[in-house]
Amino acid sequence: MDKDFLKKFVNIKRETKAMINIDPLQAGGKLTDEARQALVEWGDGFSVCDFCPGRLEGIKKPPIYDFVHQALPDFIGADVVHLTHGAREGKFLIMHALAQPNDFIIIDKSAHYTTYVAAERAGLKIKVVENSGYPEFKINVDDYEKAINEIQNEGKGKIALLVLTYPDGNYGNLPDAKKLATISQKYKIPFLLNTAYAVGRMPINMNETGADFIVASGHKSMASSGPIGFVGMKKEWDEVLFKKSQYFAKKEVGILGCVSRGTAIMTLMASFPSVVERIKEWPKQVEKAQWFSRQLEKQGLKQLGEKPHNHDLMFFEAEKLYEISKTHKGGAFFLYKELKKNNIWGIKPGLTKNFKLSTFAANKEELQKVVDVFASLLD
């Protein structure tokens, strides 16, 4: 293999590392210093398995056992927690274990694409509950009951699962999860709450909500390297989802024995005490998000999604920026380029009229700079 070709894979710098980051995907996944240390200490392949008793979640040194069996269930208010490669893998795990091909799941219109794809991989039919459309795009969870009745009355098939995205990744809306739990209980259909953008950012308690399952993401919202996440559940689901192999008594079929046999579990653990602290600051995060929204609205942008807004994920409509892009020499890329020039990262290249962002990682001073750059462009 050509040596010059091979050089391109080595010594690659991440140019955005020190920038103000408002990328919704990245704002909750920036490592703490403690996680960065763990990364180096436990980087070698299979290093967490030094003292493995036969399954990853049973390892007591490093204390993965305590983390998975005590810290995480306590943190999210679930009876049982198991590690996954991420929220999407958690969703597929639940759907594949719970449902038969051609069963239905009912999901919200604002669901992440991986909810669709996980259902597709499990061979399931998808019934979508619409949102309220422009400008708030809210989910009315009563519509799940209508969807249940429609499927059941028409004898279309079994409904295996209700899924609600909390919040959704576009608008950052927080629908009424508790109410959907009562509907799920009334119809005895299990209920999965997708909290990839919630657990690690804001307080969440699965049992208080009344959901059967919860999925979370380490790299999205828990200051962890990826890929890692977990599923939380009511106790009775543990043996359905995590039944042991008929061939190997210690190994769980649904996770192929062990999941996160690498560094990410160590970064997730190392950041955990900081994450426990940071969710206490959630009211301040919401206040900061609302302040930022007001600043951009003062300049003529329009924040879509719930108002007043209750999450750091936000979607903006910016007709004026779109108008500017039509004549700007940077064209559709002018906003991206101007922000980058000002050390701001996270709005996708080519977008001007509609874009999403997160205020989670940036402090108020940094967000003021973002506001100022928008002001200068709109001036």
Restricting to residues 213-252, which ones interact with a copy of itself according to CB under 8 A? 218-220, 223-228, 245-248, 251
Rule CB under 8 A: is residue 287 a binding residue for a copy of itself?
Answer: no
Give the span between the Cα atoms of 272 and 276, in whole angstroms: 6
Query: Could you say which residues in the range 16-75 bind a copy of itself, by CB under 8 A?
Result: 16-17, 23, 25-26, 28-31, 34-47, 49-50, 62-63, 66-67, 70-71, 74-75
Work out how close the CB of 266 gets to a copy of itself at its nearest, in angstroms, rounded to a whole number: 7
ω into 203 cis (within 30 of 0): no
* Residue at 140: amino acid letter: N
Which of positions 146-205 make contact with a copy of itself (CB under 8 A)?
none
Strand-pair category, 302-304 with 213-217: unpaired
Return the closest-CA partner of residue 252 out of 264, 270, 238.
238
* Chosen residue from 167, 169, 172, 262 binding a copy of itself by CB under 8 A: 262
Site for a copy of itself in 115-154 (CB under 8 A): 116-118, 120-121, 126
The smaller minimum CB distance to a copy of itself, of residues 116 and 187, is found at 116
Q: How far is the CB of 228 from a copy of itself (least distance, A)?
A: 8
Site track 71-110 with a copy of itself (rule: CB under 8 A), x = hit: x--xx---------xx-xx--x---x--------------
- Cβ 288 to a copy of itself shortest distance, Å: 20
Which of 81, 105, 114, 357 touches a copy of itself (CB under 8 A)? Answer: 114
Exactly one of 69, 234, 261, 302 binds a copy of itself (CB under 8 A); which one?
A: 261
Contacts (Cβ under 8 Å, ≥6 apart) of 377: 321, 324, 334, 335, 338
Interacting residues with a copy of itself between 299 and 328 (CB under 8 A) = none
Picking from 279, 216, 270, 224, the residue whose alpha carbon sits closest to that of residue 81 is 216
Residues 376, 342 contacting (CB under 8 angstroms)? no
Q: Of the ranges 1-9, 300-308, 311-319, 327-335, which one interacts with a copy of itself (CB under 8 A)?
A: 1-9
The token pair at 286 is: 């919401």
Closest CA to 21 of 347, 263, 273, 332: 347
**By CB under 8 A, what part of segment 348-367 binds a copy of itself?**
none
Cross-strand bridge partners of residue 162: 106, 191
Q: Which helix (H) or strand (E) holds 105?
A: strand 104-108
CA atoms within 13 A on the CB side of 150: 12
Residue number with CB closer to a copy of itself (192 or 301) = 192
Amino acid at 14: R
| Residue 246, number of CB atoms within 10 A of its CB | 7
Identify which of residues 34 and 317 has a Cβ nearer to a copy of itself in the complex. 34
* Residue 345 sits in the site that holds a copy of itself (CB under 8 A): yes
Q: Exactly one of 273, 300, 330, 331 binds a copy of itself (CB under 8 A); which one?
A: 273
Residue closer to a copy of itself (CB basis): 17 or 188: 17
Q: How far is the CB of 38 from a copy of itself (least distance, A)?
A: 7
Per CB under 8 A, 4 contacts a copy of itself: no
Among 242, 272, 334, 355, binds a copy of itself (CB under 8 A): 272
Half-sphere exposure of 305 (CA within 13 A, CB side): 27
Query: Using an 8 Å Cβ cutoff, are 32 and 271 in contact?
Result: yes
- The b-or-e profile of 78-100 (16+ CB within 10 A means b, else e) is bebbbbbbbbbbbbbbbbbebbe
